Amino acid sequence: MKKIIVPVDFSEYSEFALEAAASIAHKFGSELIVLHMLELSSAIISSGNEGLQEEAIYYLKLAQKKFDAFLDKPYLKGLKVHPIVKQFKVWSEVNEVATENNAQLIVMGSQGSSGIKEVLIGSNTQKVVRYADVPVLVIKHNPILMDFENGVFASDFSEEAIAPYLKAKETFDFLGIIMHLVYVNSPDGNFRSSSEIDQRVSQFLEKADGDLTQLDAINVVSDYSIEKGILNFANVIGADLIAVATHGRKGLSHFFEGSVSEDIANHSTLPVMTFKI
């Protein structure tokens, strides 16, 4: 894991993400690319008006000054840290920065939200999860311990979930995390019989792993919703991390269909890692 992207807005939750990323970087010798996105309109950036250009320069220098103080942390000592300021707040750019720098992980802090605020504006974390092609680790609290031991990987064991499963398996192995596979049978997730689930999981493992070695490791739980099933299972086994696959839905399809992965990332108190389908 050579490079890690950390999007920040200089908030407390950004500091949580930065410290978590630093912990991983120290362990694996990674470089940190700390990204801040200025909320400047395209009109200000492209304007020929001298006053507007001066305003853009002012905000750019202010961000650079904030970076100096924000990155003055003892846990960053000995790490290669590259601050980057983008002049327009487009959340797909986080993925572009990750691609340009060949980063293997994005670490981001999130306060989470609920109710009407979540419906109307969502969260920046959700937007990053939606666009990112690389795994996104969402941190919700001060990362006192970052030695993940037990991680839950939740899946519907469909064919399209094979790629994120293999990526999650690779990432878990690299980080030394024990993977607990879980399937949630619920009314909101196309309820299936036990035999149907067994067949679905067996076909999945045959295609993904080439054998059924992991079959006994699959945990099938029933709950009122997929989200509740995942969170409750993680609590029962004492998990340190939850991993889920995401479709990366955008626009109206996201609004109408929703996304379990984004709900988990928004509501879980545990760190959440997402892998794009």
Q: Which of 131-135, 196-200, 209-213, 252-256 has the lowest mean pLDDT?
A: 252-256
Q: Which residues pair with 106 in a beta bridge?
A: 5, 136
Q: What's the rounded Cα separation, in Å, for the pair 151 and 59?
A: 41
Distance CA 277, CA 253 (A): 15
Q: Which two tokens stand for residue 193?
A: 């019989």
Q: What b/e string do you get for 192-228 counting C-beta neighbours within 10 Å, with b at 16 or more?
A: eeeeebeebbeebbeebeeeeebeeebebbebeebbe
Q: How far is CA 64 from the centre of its chain?
A: 26
What pLDDT does 177 receive?
93
The larger pLDDT score, comparing residue 145 to residue 46, is at 145
Residue, of 38 and 164, whose pLDDT is higher: 164
User: How high is the pLDDT of residue 263?
Assistant: 75
Contact 46, 97 (CB under 8 A): no
d(CA 166, CA 14) in angstroms, rounded, equals 29
What is the residue extent of each domain of the chain? Answer: 1-143, 147-277
Residue 142: pLDDT band (50, 70, 90) is confident
Query: How much is the average pLDDT of 117-129?
Result: 60
pLDDT band for position 117 (cuts 50, 70, 90): very low
- Each residue's pLDDT tens digit, 196-239: 999 999 999 999 999 999 888 899 999 998 899 999 999 999 99
Give the pTM.
Answer: 0.84
pLDDT tens-digit series, residues 37-94: 876 555 454 555 565 567 667 767 777 788 888 999 999 999 999 998 887 667 778 9
Contact between residue 95 and residue 131 where contact means Cβ atoms under 8 Å apart: yes
Determine the pLDDT at residue 276.
Answer: 85
Q: In the β-sheet with 81-86, what is the strand arrangement from edge to edge?
A: 81-86, 31-37, 3-8, 105-109, 136-139, 272-276, 241-246, 150-154, 178-185, 218-222
Strand-strand pairing, 272-276 and 136-139: antiparallel
In degrees and rounded to multiples of 5, residue 227 shows phi and psi of -60, -50
Q: What is the DSSP string of 82-123?
A: EEEEESS--THHHHHHHHHTT-SEEEEE-----HHHHHHH--
Res 122: pLDDT? 44
Burial of residue 265, with CB atoms counted within 10 A of its CB: 0-12 exposed, 13-18 middle, 19 or more buried = buried
Query: Do the domains 1-143 and 147-277 sit in the same CATH topology, yes or no?
Result: yes
| Tally: H helices and E strands in the chain | 11, 10
Give CATH superfamily name and number for 1-143: HUPs (3.40.50.620)
- What average pLDDT is seen over the chain? 83
The pLDDT score that the predictor gives to residue 141 is 84
**Whole-number Å distance between alpha carbons of 265 and 273:** 8
Enumerate residues 6+ apart whose C-beta is below 8 A from 157.
183, 200, 201, 204
CATH 3.40.630.30 fits 147-277, yes or no: no
